[in-house]
Chain A
Amino acid sequence: MQYSKAILDHLENPRNVGEMIDANAIAEVVNSACGDKIKLFIKFRDKKIISATMKAYGCVPTLSSVSFLTEWLMGKSFEEASNLEVDELINLLGGLPRGKKHAADLAIEALQIALLSYKPDTQNNS
């Protein structure tokens, strides 16, 4: 299976692993066909994302897509985050082998569900 350098790097050095207690946008998604699972935690402050963490179970691109996503989201606004599309994520990852697009689909699904769950915390001016 030919994976891009970026995907292999995220497999070897997964970024922002863990669950975030004070996240204000959270998602847990499962691909029922293959069993891949992603948990995504996002924290907004001052209308920008200041932190994102993840947990993931599944094949290489699933792990790498969401690991990449947690880095990419840093500093993004709600609107910028919600505009990220599957094809753009695949491009940013350096492409995906045939039959592996579902991994990026799952990562974007996690992002969209997390954004839907977003509850601004007025005290923190988020």
Chain B
Amino acid sequence: MLQRKYIEIAIGLFFVLLAVLLYGSADTVNQAVSKASTDSTSTYVNTLAIVLGIAASIELTMSILSSPTVIEFSKNPLKFTSLIFLLIAYVWGMEYIGFVLATLIFLPATMKMMGYESLIKSLIISAGITLFVYMLFQVGFEILLPEPTLFEGFLS
């Protein structure tokens, strides 16, 4: 239950600020290249900044004048936030326990969270997907998937 109006004002202010910061940020002098090179780069960046400034100001004005409405991010906030949490945990965990283990935990956990009933079936599906990705990427395409690093500390 968030007020759309205030979020839009905040976003609008952010973009106006971004435009201000961007303007002039590429004005440099560099002896390695010609003046036309550096000048044109700053012209390009400054043009982006100006257009952004104008568009963001219009947007900001419009959102200030708008009537307040409620914005809904998800019909099911619990599942929505759970998925965000699981994704972050999965990626974070993968750096420590490697692709295989992390995926074997992430898949059934996400399926459970999304309301999949049978635990056995979900484990089988998870193992299948993990095996498929492993075979295709690591064996077939020789892409080295993240390896476990957690136990290395004890080793060397």
Say whether A associates with B. no
